[in-house]
Structure 1
Amino acid sequence: MSELLATFIFFFAVIDPIGTVPVFIAVTAHYSEAGKRKIALQATLYSALILVFFVVAGEVILEAINIPLSAFQIAGGIVLFLFALTMIFGEGKPEEEKKAVRDGKETAIFPLAVPSIASPGAMLGAVLMTENNRFSLLEQSETTLVMLAVLSIVLLLLLAASYVHRLIGNSGASIISRVMGLILASVAVSNILAGIKTYFAL
């Protein structure tokens, strides 16, 4: 149970559902309520398809190009750590992605599905948390279900975006994003250390 909770917290950090709310509001500012619901559903569906693809095929692709999973784990941990640092010290997820909206790229795919929901960190996490050598098929299935549960929370928050935004504001979303970044940094360091240990044990 504690492992599932840790997995949930990990995916909640890399997907950052609350940080997506201000982005969604900016993207859908000129849409009707029905249009907003449609975009929320599409963005969540696209994100689920992308992340499940990485769960199923990510490790297969690595093996096909002969990259040891331990090397990917180290590289992925470094990228996750840098991603976490941008969440902690950078402008923050909502501000960065709302800039993309102001550039006119207002679709459910960009910037909502990618990179807001199915972020680079989430894609890497989907591979690292379902390694064939570390996790059984049952454990990988449980991890995928936990990931989809987090995406369900994303959908619920997007459908209630106006209320959530009034409740926490841009500042609240930015603070939460930074806290999630700190958690993600800890997970990233753990992945780097585990990858180094596995690599030198081969």
Structure 2
Amino acid sequence: MSDLVSLTLLTEVFVTLFVIMDPIGKIPIFLSLTRGRSQASARRAAWQAVAVSFGVIVAFAFFGQRILDYLGISLPALQAAGGLLLLLVALELLTGKEQAPTAASDVNVALVPLGTPLLAGPGAIVATMVLSREVDHVAEFVAVALGVVLVHVALWLSMRFSLPILRLLREGGVVLVSRIAGLLLSAIAVQLVADAVRAFIAGEG
């Protein structure tokens, strides 16, 4: 088994991305963003968000540094942009002014902000880029790839089975969850921007 996959690197990749992407912590945010949707639409949003996140993570794992260098974008700039986008979403959730999408709505929250930057955010992107640099052999490549896949399976499961929670909470409970999610999102957004500012001051941007 160790000849086919590096178990140490697999564990490192899975634990690192699991902590950063936080499947359990995404449940209230997912419930808030899919409030007003049908059950089928919410399920579709779950797998679409995971698919978008997986695509972004894989793209940056292979071509991340080249993409940023080509566009002249620094990692702190990407982090600040993601933080500002999340802050806008958080303010809508906190004030209750978000437009609750319906099954017929053309607003696809699975792409933005759920798929990115909530799931495939700056932290996950940077971590994947760093971990990908450790790949020198097939076993290490398999470890990184398998770790990324397993984390996204965990993300899908957390959102897929959040639907029974939605039925249990009903409308009033989901409104309360929306406010809590808005508070958590605003804190995440401010932290992202603060980290980016610190990086700019330190000359990393």
Q: TM-score, normalised by structure 1?
A: 0.65
2:163 corresponds in structure 1 to 158
Aligned pairs for 1:7-86 within 5 A: 7-12=17-22, 16-28=26-38, 36=39, 38-65=40-67, 67=69, 71-86=73-88
Q: 1:101 deviation in Å?
A: 3.8
Deviation at 1:148, TM superposition (A): 3.5
Identity over aligned residues, as a percent? 13
Indicate how the Cα distance of structure 1 residues 56 and 6 shifts in structure 2: closer, same or farther if over 3 A, else same. Answer: closer
**SS of 1:27's equivalent?**
coil
Whether the 8 Å CA contact 2:35–2:174 is kept in 1: the answer is no
**Conservation of the 8 A alpha-carbon contact between 2:93 and 2:181:** no
| Aligned CA distance change for structure 1 residues 64 and 2 (closer, same or farther; 3 Å) | closer
Instruction: Report what 1:32 is aligned to.
Output: none
The structure-2 alpha-carbon separation of the partners of 1:198 and 1:7, relative to structure 1 and needing over 3 Å to count, comes to farther
Q: How many residues align?
A: 185
How big is each residue's C-alpha offset from its partner over 1:21-75, in whole Å with a ceiling of 9 and x where there is no partner?
A: 24434121xxxxxxx2x43432222222211111111354545556179944111
Superposition map of 1:133-172 within 5 A: 136=134, 137=141, 138=143, 141-165=146-170, 168-172=173-177
Name whichever structure is richer in helix by fraction: 1
Cα displacement (A) at 1:186 = 2.2
Q: In angstroms, what is the RMSD of aligned CA positions?
A: 4.0
CA shift for structure 1 position 77: 1.2
Q: Does 1:105 align with 2:105?
A: yes
- The runs of 5 or more residues in structure 1 that have no matched partner are 29-35
Question: Which residue of the partner structure matches residue 125 of structure 2?
Answer: 127
Q: Distance in 1 between matches of 2:203 and 2:89?
A: 28
Contact 2:166 2:174 in 1 (8 A): no
Measure, in 2, the Cα distance between the counterparts of 1:198 and 1:3.
28
On the 8 A contact 1:70/1:198 being kept in 2, the answer is no
- In 1, Cα distance between equivalents of 2:165 and 2:31: 9
| SS across alignment from 1:185 | helix
Deviation at residue 16 of structure 1 after TM alignment? 3.4
Where does the alignment leave 5 or more consecutive residues of structure 2 unmatched? 1-10, 135-140
More off after superposition, 50-59 vs 130-139: 130-139
Instruction: Quote the Cα distance in structure 1 between the aligned partners of 2:68 and 2:82.
Output: 22
**Per-residue Cα deviation, 1:171-192 (whole angstroms, up to 9, x for no partner):** 2322233124313432553356
Does the 8 Å CA contact 2:52/2:111 hold for their aligned counterparts? Answer: no
Matching of residue 118 in structure 1 with residue 115 in structure 2? yes
